[in-house]
A and B are shown apart, each in its own frame.
Chain A
């Protein structure tokens, strides 16, 4: 604050200051002698010339009178109209930026109170148009003989532009510090002739040093890892001599004794002679990145080992085009690695399977499937494929594994073959077991029955009271004995069939055999006026045991004649043909009584089963031929409608999986 007793003028009229400097000077200092006055006058004149052209305002403040004089430039600087301006220290104060006012007043007071001659200050003002400007005010303090300040004369300059540039520089400096700190950068400025280095940036965080602990270029070299030192240095020399950017990685010692990976990039600035005399650059701690890259390399290496060690072939492909593969794929397919890369993976598949595989690729199928592969030499092999779509770098690639499964296929074939044999044996065992059950039934029912009767009759005989009764019982005993014998003969016949697997076979013409059989049945055929027709064009002959075929035809014809309908003339039609499997089928169709298969179907081919009250029903025939047909690996079945007729179908060639 200006002290109370001190008037605080400053400014002076611009017009006056420029137009009449002499008067001002005179009025301001009466103590100056004449020669000095002349010199002053001269200098003021020179100053006047400068001031009219230079953007510098001149002012004078008579402290005693608090009168102020300004040159025109001052008014320009303040952007004030000269006429309306009340020239006083207070007016000047009022234009001052409020924030700078206390500082300025303190400085002024201190300057006046001291014995200093020079006065210097930078401060801001706010112009009437509201714009903030920076001013540089310089002055000389004139004191009287007692040392009391009586006058200040000085200049004022608008230094706003300079200030802005300075601020910008400060800003940039701050930003630079901020960025280098945040980025973990160490910045250097290397003066080549002296070897000195000016360090900045985030030295503490990156290296753990203070800037002063880092030294000149020799110290820098020392701090590089011994293994990297020579190279880092020689590359620096090389870059310098070629004046090219320096861009090197090396390990650099940190304060804690550990090394970090540095990425050092610098450029050279030429001196006047054109020789590099200065180097600017930055060091970046890239340890994390290097470690990550190393572990990636290691993992890639491991993956490659794994892939190469895999027994299968692995290929990466994009819609069939092979991008990469392992040695396994080369081994399996017989191609070299460089032949496979870029080639079409479908070429490794047998042509007839390619559409199938392509379909799997396009649909993204990810389970295993078997196809046939084709090697470079054209040979084929069984191939198991499994593919999987994986996203890679924005697109989808497919990883496909090839596995040569020839060995497995061969084993599978063997197993399947063994299985077939096993099934055949099981089948045969089941059939034998079934036959055994049948025999139990036969023995149990058919053989025990007459024997039991014989025993009962013998008991009766023992208790018989008359000769006549005894004679009757003897007759019954004979009958039972005969039945038993017949039963044993029939069983024997059936047993023979079961055992006689190697019965001789010959080529038999059906038509010939039918003639042979019908001649044996002539009497009955004539009796019932049966009409027998046939069509053997579908299968005229068969390789078969003759006695079996005779027995089959005889029994089926006999059956058809026996169970004819009394209401119509018997018609029997025989036919042979081949079914869809190429098996020979014989059908014997009649228009007889028919069988209610729903009720009696389960008994048709059983021993001693008859379905008609016919005097000649014995029930052995169908049972017998069924055994003969089955012994030769065939089957027999029946279709019938009661009162319409019956048709028997014999399939001679049904594959007989007996394992032989």
Chain B
């Protein structure tokens, strides 16, 4: 059993395949937080007829895919500081309100990047390295209430 699992891990999916698989797994109408890094790609792969309301912790609800180059608005960015778009019905909120959504258990799913995951699912997702801009204890501490998808490449 473990051998067959390992075979899949070694073969692996690339970043985009993984993002599209996660997007397909999300149920219609779910509120989903996307973490920094690979999870950001998930919002690119929403299927037609499927409505997923993406949340970004910097204060965006109803986040859309990456905009075209001529539509980039640098005031409209996701938690990973990359330009995004906002879908009809989306809203902006205060950072504290954004965390009230998270800690109040209103978000249904979170797609979280992991630094290391063991074959049993044990997770290492924080680091104190000085030479990186976005490491720290990450959002994991806030996400213990509901379902979480890990999203990471295995090397």
Q: Determine if chain A interacts with chain B.
A: no
